[in-house]
Every structure is written in structure tokens, then in C-alpha cells.
Amino acid sequence: MVKGKAWVLAKTFEGEPTEANFRLINEEIPAPKQGEFVTEAVCLTVDPYMRTGMAGSAVGKVLMGEQVSRVTESKNSEYPVGALVQCYSGWRSRSLVNPKENPEALRLRKVPNLGGKDSSIALGVIGMTGVTAYLGFLEVCQPKAGDTVLVSGAAGAVGSVVGQIAKIKGCRVIGSAGSKQKCDWLKSLGFDYVFNYKDVKLDDALKAAAPKGIDCFYDNVGGEKAYRVLEHMNNYGRMCVGGAISTYNTGKEPLVPSPFRNILQKRLKVQGFVIFDWDSKFQESRTQLLRWVNEGKLKYRETVHNGFDNMPKAFVSLFSGANTGKMIVKV
């Protein structure tokens, strides 16, 4: 039996999360039985969606999340000692994994050959966030060459990939972000127009960036600004709702101004996108993303916190916009 550490919910969230919401505990990890194996975390992800996913968690429960980990003990020939895997085993430094126990929640996958790249990209640009960008944009927005595409939260892990895929597909791409440094990075990725939403009025920025209107809108932010974008959509525009970070800490968002008149009059396609509905296309999507990474067509950036003890700090910082690209904790 080995010992591990885990982060549990110390008290329920009220508004924005703080480090006081989390408590570190020690766990004893039993020896694996036939078909099981033990892993040690290599790197873990923190993502905004976890805020809503954790909202209903009981105090004392281990927090949800995905990690890349290395098999250290095994009684499963498919997962030998030394193998790298990724799964939703939570905020744990060590885990006992039974592939047959609740496989839908575990979402166990082997980390593919990354050609020497850091295993953290299995959680980012070719992981859940990259595939969310790939499938959400291509399947929901169905872009055509020449389309004008707007990406909110464009310097985040999902938005930065969406914008680059849009360029690969021959679109004109507009991105919004919250700092000059983030905007500069988006320009270096090939975005055609970027603006700092903190410095300009949204309507003014979109009139300048898209005088002929917007065909595709990939929204990661939600809130009133997302509603305002609908005024600038072209007829038969398509909108993928991939996230709503501006509303995660405020409870139910108000429907003011109402978006429904624009949706009706412009016959807009507005669809929510949750990556867990698309498991059947996950592998082919990450294969294409890795190909683009290797070809230099798709670039990525990570904001890294070192040390398992810094999981809460990394998570809390997401909501102040501290990350550029994917937020990762390396153990």
C-alpha cells in the first residue's frame, strides 16, 4: 500500500472560488487487484468548467479533473508499469484505476506517441480543450473559406486553437482577449483582427473588425457581451456555445438583453457543445491536431504551476484571466 495526496472540497462555493474552498488530505492507495493498476500523476489540468461541475459536490469529496499519469504498479497487461495514461481520476497525486469500473466517467486513454513533446499537450492542444475547439468549430459552426469568424476568450486554451483552425480553413478571424500581451500573442498566431475587450466598446470593435458582419461565433465567455454579438451576425450565422466563464461565479445569468429576436430574425444556428458527447470522434480529432502541431500550423502556449500543492492556486487564478493558453499543474 502506498500513500498519496488529494484535494477535497473544504466548503461550498459562494461567488468566485478561493483557496479556502480546498483542503489537502492524505490517502492510502491499496495494492492493485487483477485488472487494476496504480498511477502517479505527472501533470493535471484545471479548467473553468470545473467551477460548475464542482458546485454540487459534497464537502469532503475529492475534486474532479483530468490528469496524465504514469503506471507504477500493474496487474493489467494492457497498462504495464511505465505506461502513460490520461483519465479523470480527480485531483489526486496517486490513483488506483480499475478500467471496468464506471468507464464513462473515468474516460481512460493511453497517451499517444508525442514525438518527444511534453506529455502535458495530451491535456491541452491535443486533449480535451483542443478537441473541443476542433469539433465545436468544425461540426457546429461548419465554416466555409472566406467566412468571418469571431472567437471570444481567444487567448485561452480553446479559443486560441479555434482561431488557428479557422485560419487553416481559409477564414478571416477576429479575436477578443483581456490584455495587450494576449492580443499580441493572438496577432503572432495569425489572427486578422484582435481587440482588448477591456479597452474598447464591443459594438465599436465589431463594426471596425467586421463591417460586413460575422458568419461564425465561437463563444467561450457568455454573458451580456455574447448577446451583443448577435446584433452583428449575418443571416444564417452559426454560433457554438463552448463556455460561459463570465457567468460561472454569479449563478443564473440574466437574459437581458434578450437574444431571441436576433436568433429568430437572422435564422441563427446556436448550439451548446459539450465534448463528452463526442467520444466517438475524439481519437481522429486529436490525430489531426497533432499532425498540425508537427507541421507547425498549430501553435500552443501553456501557463504552468509547479507542484501538486498548487492545484487550488492555479484553479483560482483562471477566473482572473491569469492564463494564456492552457493552465497546467506539473507534479
> Which carries the bigger pLDDT value, residue 1 or residue 86?
86
Cα angle, residue 259 at apex, residues 256 and 265 outer, rounded to 5°? 145
C-alpha–C-alpha distance, residues 319 and 137, integer Å = 24
Specify the residue for cell string 492507495.
Answer: 29
Average pLDDT of the residues of the chain: 93
Buried b (16+ CB within 10 A) or exposed e, 234-265: beebbbbbbbbbbbbbeeeeeeeeebeebbee
Hey, what CATH class is 2-124+301-330 in? alpha beta
Pairing of strands 84-87, 67-74: antiparallel
Helix, strand and coil percent figures for the chain, each rounded to 5? 35, 25, 40
State whether the Cα torsion 5-9-11-15 is positive or negative: positive
pLDDT at residue 254 in the model: 53
pLDDT band for position 250 (50/70/90)? low
Task: Check whether 230 has a pLDDT greater than 60.
Answer: yes
Specify the residue for cell string 437574444.
Answer: 259
pLDDT at residue 49 in the model: 85
Average pLDDT over residues 193-215: 96
CATH topology of domain 128-275: Rossmann fold (3.40.50)
- 284-320 pLDDT tens trace: 999 999 999 999 999 999 999 999 999 999 999 999 8
pLDDT at residue 260 in the model: 64
Specify the residue for cell string 477578443.
Answer: 176
Q: Are 90 and 36 in contact (CB under 8 A)?
A: no
Domain boundaries, the chain: 2-124+301-330, 128-275
Average pLDDT over residues 224-253: 84
Average pLDDT over residues 261-270: 78
pLDDT band for position 263 (50/70/90)? confident
- Highest mean pLDDT, choosing among 22-26, 54-58, 261-265: 22-26
> Which carries the bigger pLDDT value, residue 284 or residue 15?
284
- 50-108 pLDDT tens trace: 888 787 789 999 999 999 999 999 999 999 999 999 999 999 999 999 999 989 889 99
The separation between CA 251 and the C-alpha centre of its own chain, rounded to angstroms, equals: 20
